[in-house]
Structure 1
Amino acid sequence: MSLFNLPPLNLPPLNKAALRRLETIPHSDPTMDEARWQEVQPCRRYQFGSKSVFITQPSSSFWVYLLGILTTLIGGYFFVIAEGQMSRHLWGWSLVLWGLGAIIAGTSYQAFGFQLKCQGRPKAVWTSWWEVIYLIFQQVSMNVMLVAVAYSNTSGWLLDLLILVAIGLSILYTLLVLYGAIMPIKWLITFEFMVQVSTPIVIFFIALNTWSYWQNPNLMDLTLLGCWAGLIITMLGYWLYYKADITNKLWAKGIWFSENDVLHVLLIIWVLYIPFFMAPHIMDL
């Protein structure tokens, strides 16, 4: 499917029924119900006094929440060291959005996925609105990062153009994801589609900072290139682990470490690189 052969824009009235159309997308495993949910992945019930909480993928939930908290805090760190630099303010907002998105994602993909997508249903559904909101937060975070980098490496008409591109892309992507959720169109609300939208931005970052460093070698462009290299290594690690089906091979031996865990652990390393190595060198052009 491509953007050129989407169904006609004939949205249903925006009411509860329209919002619940997202739940009509069936789970990728048609046999997935409450019993099978607990067979194919680790689940555990925790007792807190008189209250009990059922958690899906406890270890995965730990990693994704840790990522979300760290990324949000590092975003806050950029506000502290901003010193009037717009690029640092924007890095702060980008990382706060990224961190909150990770927490939202972990709530549905991991910790409370059973309650949101399976509990009380004859068959599990594929996604939830939590995941839709995560996709929007994640992509807008990348677009804000685009403007942050633009303030460090461009000026004049090019800076204005990149700001317009980031705003336009944020609006377009948000509308496409909401359209995909309401119609519903599964392809538009996948992690893969979000990565496809984000990838050209990362390629642009690499080209821009490579050119800037070539013209004038400096630590800011060098550490930014390290940042993009880390992001590429992270995504490559995720996809290689996924394609090798290592998650299921390990789970057959009672060990749970999924491709999402690989993604989140590598992203934790990546995000820790930012304040210790990159942040001190970020400044406006």
Structure 2
Amino acid sequence: MSPQKPNELHSIWGRLQSIPHDDPSLTEQTWRQVQPCKRYELGRYKLFITQPSSTFWVYLLGVLTTLLGLFFLVTFDNHTSRLLWGVSLILWGVGALLAGTSYQAFGYQLKCQDRPMVAWTSWWEVIYMIFQQLSVNVMLVAVAYSLLNEHGQRWATLVAIAVSVAYCIMITYAAFKPKKALLTFELMVHWCTPMILFMAALNLWHIVTQPTSLNYALLGTWLGLIATMLCYQYYFKAGISQKLWSKGVWFSENDVLHVLLIVWVAYIAWVLSPLIIDAPL
């Protein structure tokens, strides 16, 4: 079989952006009307930023989460659970930076500029969802190393690997096909939810059988994350973003998500971090 020509390869990678935006009336001209945008001039360079305030919040989340992950790595002290928490948080933080680049800051350039049709997503968002899903799976193994014996740790690792591989295969297939239904943020959340609920249930069981400060702190971590997602969903379904924007105020459901996640990361840093150690075997 002859090697593919460059234009054929480009078309394969470009299939993802053939998915049209949910709003068919969205164009280069209307892009700036449905959301805040600002042009910055830095000498010869000009930057067109979509949703400047939202960009600030999501980039702040990404930087803080990545720095916290690096802190876990530096202070892991031969505790595998701390090492894995560091990896998980770095994946989460870098994923947030990728998401903010496409969903917010440079969405115009990536999905709209010089295009006859505004694209619904980009590869930045696909990689973000992969990183986010991997982050939760690594978090599962980190918790296993803090609470379970070697048998439990092995099972948690196998489950995390299996789910990670399955999700990566699914979303890669969906991106090349492309299949919009398999590329949504909501589906990614559905993949993560069983892991989070399992960890919450595991901590609750340990609180009943052997209450420790670590178990209470971990349970607070999952409850805080669940509460954050519920607030995001309520804000989105209530259409509050559109109501505020009609009055000239921009604070979207993504801002709700990112601000609350910053609080969640602060909780991990101040409350959970000092308690993370490996379970005695």
**2:12 aligned with 1:22, yes or no?**
no
Deviates more, 1:83-92 or 1:149-158: 149-158
Structure 2 counterpart of 1:65, from 13, 35, 59: 59
Deviation of 1:167 after TM superposition, in Å, equals 0.7
**2:231 aligned with 1:237, yes or no?**
yes
Deviation of 1:212 after TM superposition, in Å, equals 1.0
Deviation of 1:51 after TM superposition, in Å, equals 1.1
Deviation of 1:91 after TM superposition, in Å, equals 0.2
Structure 1 counterpart of 2:91, from 97, 104, 118: 97
Aligned to 1:36: 30
- Structure 1, unaligned stretches of length 5 or more? 1-11
- Structure 2, unaligned stretches of length 5 or more? none
Q: What is the Cα-based RMSD across aligned positions, in Å?
A: 1.2
Structure 2 counterpart of 1:45, from 33, 39, 43: 39
Aligned to 1:197: 191
Aligned to 1:126: 120
Aligned to 2:106: 112
Task: Answer whether contact 1:64 1:264 (CA < 8 A) is retained.
Answer: yes
Q: Which runs of 4+ in 1 moved over 6 A?
A: none
**2:117 aligned with 1:143, yes or no?**
no
Task: Answer whether contact 1:21 1:184 (CA < 8 A) is retained.
Answer: yes
- What is the alpha-carbon distance in structure 2 between the residues aligned to residue 141 and residue 236 of structure 1? 20
Deviations 1:113-150 (A, max 9, x none): 00000000122110000000000000000010010001
**2:180 aligned with 1:186, yes or no?**
yes
Deviation of 1:19 after TM superposition, in Å, equals 1.1
Task: Answer whether contact 1:177 1:188 (CA < 8 A) is retained.
Answer: yes
Deviation of 1:16 after TM superposition, in Å, equals 1.9
Deviation of 1:275 after TM superposition, in Å, equals 1.2
Task: Answer whether contact 1:31 1:123 (CA < 8 A) is retained.
Answer: no
Aligned to 1:8: none
TM-score (norm 1): 0.94
Deviations 1:90-115 (A, max 9, x none): 00000000000000000000000000
Deviation of 1:52 after TM superposition, in Å, equals 1.0
Aligned to 2:260: 266
- Equivalent AA in structure 1 for residue 209 of structure 2: Q
- What is the alpha-carbon distance in structure 2 between the residues aligned to residue 200 and residue 108 of structure 1? 27
Deviations 1:206-245 (A, max 9, x none): 1111111111110000000010111011001100000110
- What is the alpha-carbon distance in structure 2 between the residues aligned to residue 105 and residue 240 of structure 1? 21
Aligned to 1:77: 71
- What is the alpha-carbon distance in structure 1 between the residues aligned to residue 259 and residue 110 of structure 2? 25
Deviation of 1:15 after TM superposition, in Å, equals 2.4
- What is the alpha-carbon distance in structure 2 between the residues aligned to residue 274 and residue 179 of structure 1? 34
The percent identity for this pair of structures is: 56
Deviates more, 1:16-25 or 1:38-47: 16-25
TM-score (norm 2): 0.96
Aligned to 1:86: 80
Aligned residues: 274
- What is the alpha-carbon distance in structure 1 between the residues aligned to residue 207 and residue 10 of structure 2? 52
